[in-house]
Amino acid sequence: MGLELSELDDSTFLNSVKREVIDWLRFITIFMAVFYIFSTLFYALFFIPSGSMRPNLEVGDRFITSKWAYGWSRHSLPWGTARFLPSSNNRLFGHPPERGDVVVFVNPKNGTVMIKRAVGLPGDVIETRGGRLYINGERVQRTFMRITRFRDHYGQIRTAQVYFETFPNQKKPHTIYEFSDQMMLTGWSPDDSGPFTVDDGHVFFMGDNRDNSNDSRSPHGPGLVPFENLVGKALTVVFTFARCRHEPGLDCPSGRLWRLF
C-alpha cells in the first residue's frame, strides 16, 4: 500500500511539473510572438552606442522608434531576421522621410544598424564647403549659440561650437556640434565633401556631431541609403544609462527622460 501511494505521489508530482513547464512554454511562445509582431509593425526600442548624434542623443540613450512612419520593409523585422529574406526594393505603404527626421536605418554596406538625420532626399545635391552645409547650392542657415566643453565617452575633454541649424521648410531648428570648419580626418574632410547627388529611392544622412560622424559624406560610411533599408523614425528618448560627473567648466547633459526630438 505504501509503495502504491509513493508511486501515485511521484506520478502526480511529475504531471504537475510537466503541466507547469508546458504552461510556461506556452506563455513564453505567445509573449515572444506578440512582442515580435508589435516590434515589427509599431514600435521598437534602440540605444545609442556612439557620440555621432551629439548633442541631441548621448551614448547610452534608449529611444523609441516608430516602425510604421515610413511603411514596412524586410528591415522592419526585429533581431536581424531581415538577412534571411531576399533583397527587395519595395516597401508596404512606403513613403520617404522628411528632411530633418532622425532615422534608424541599416547600413547597406555592412548591415549594421545606424541612426542619423535625413539631410538629402531624391534629386538633392548635398555638399559641405568650409564647414557649411549646402543643399541644392543654397547654404543652410545656422545660428551660433555658444561654446561647450564636455568629457566624451572616451574620457577626453572636447570643445565644440553649438549651432541651431534650420533646413529649408523645416518647422523647427535642430542643434549641431562643430569642432572646426576646417576639420581633417584620415584621408578626407567632413567640412569639404561632395557634391553628392541623391539617387531616386535613396536618402543622404548626416550626424548632428558634424565632425565626428561616419555618415553619407564619409568614404567609410553608408553612402546613399535605399528606402528599403529604413527601419523607422526616432521619436523620443525614453531613458538613458549615460552618466557624467559634474565638473567645473564642463557641461553635463541632463533632463533626458521622455525628451522628444
Catalytic positions are: 52, 116
In SS3 terms, the chain reads as CHHHHHHHHHHHHHHHHHHHHHHHHHHHHHHHHHHHHHHHHCEEEEECCCCCCCCCCCCCEEEEEECCECEECHHHCCCCHHHHCCCCCCCECCCCCCCCCEEEEECCCCCCEEEEEEEECCCCEEEEECCEEEECCEECEEEEEEEEEEECCCCCEEEEEEEEEECCCCCCCEEEEECCCCCCECCECCCCEEEEECCCCEEEEECCECCCCCCCCCCCCCCCEEHHHEEEEEEEEEEECCCCCCCCCCCCCCCCCCEEC
Q: Is the pLDDT of residue 5 over 70?
A: no
Q: For the chain, give every domain's residue range.
A: 1-41, 44-260
- Give the cell for residue 8: 501515485
Q: pLDDT digit string (tens) for 77-90?
A: 887 776 666 776 77
Class of the CATH domain delimited by 44-260: mainly beta
Q: Is the pLDDT of residue 60 over 60?
A: yes
Cα–Cα distance between 252 and 246 in angstroms, integer? 6
CA angle 123, 177, 164 (to 5 degrees): 70
Whole-number pLDDT of residue 47: 87
Cα–Cα distance between 134 and 98 in angstroms, integer? 17
% pLDDT > 90, the chain: 54
The mean pLDDT value for 185-211 works out to 95
CA angle 239, 227, 119 (to 5 degrees): 65
Return all residues near 231 (Cβ < 8 A) that are at least 6 apart.
44, 65, 67, 75, 76, 103, 104, 105, 106, 113
Q: pLDDT digit string (tens) for 92-101?
A: 888 899 999 9
Q: pLDDT digit string (tens) for 146-174?
A: 999 998 878 889 999 999 999 998 888 99
Q: What is the model's pTM?
A: 0.86
Instruction: Return the higher-pLDDT residue of 134 and 93.
Output: 134
Cα–Cα distance between 84 and 74 in angstroms, integer? 9
Whole-number pLDDT of residue 151: 87
